[in-house]
Amino acid sequence: MTKLYSVTELAQELDVTPRALRFYEDKGLIAPQRAGKTRVYTHRDRGRMILILRGKRLGFSLREIAEWLDLYDSDPGQVEQMRLTLNKARDRIETLEAQHRDLQQTLDELRSIASDVEDFLRSKGASTEAAE
């Protein structure tokens, strides 16, 4: 028999809130079955949620995640899905590398400012410890 998860069980297993599961359901990314009024999630729903959470962690939009999940359903050979994944991954790498360069430049500038201010304070005989 296929394992079914309640909202609470799946939320706990994936370390998300039940509200998060309902959110992704409202967005059409997962479609739990109903047992009366109770939502029950299948192994497939669990797998989709793992992919959704991974996509969010990697910075992809819900639209991009939905596109990827739709291809999974419509492309049994997963060739188009893998091509899309490759293109999205390359784009995300490029974006993150640009952000990394920008962040490094900001850190270098802040370190330079801190060093200049420390030198100034020392020249005045003042402490370089932060005032509280």
Write the pLDDT tens digit of every residue in 10-22: 999 999 999 999 9
Rounded mean pLDDT of 88-98?
95
Nearest to 10 by CA among 57, 36, 56, 44: 44
Rounded mean pLDDT of 92-103?
96
pLDDT at 122: 93
The C-alpha atoms of residue 85 and residue 72 are separated, in whole angstroms, by 11
The C-alpha atoms of residue 70 and residue 73 are separated, in whole angstroms, by 5
pLDDT at 78: 78
Sign of CA dihedral 88, 94, 95, 100: positive
pLDDT at 132: 60
Write the pLDDT tens digit of every residue in 33-89: 988 888 899 998 999 999 999 999 999 999 999 988 888 777 677 788 888 889 989
From the CB of residue 84, how many other CB atoms can be counted at a distance below 10 Å? 18
- Which secondary-structure segment (H or E) carries 22? helix 18-26
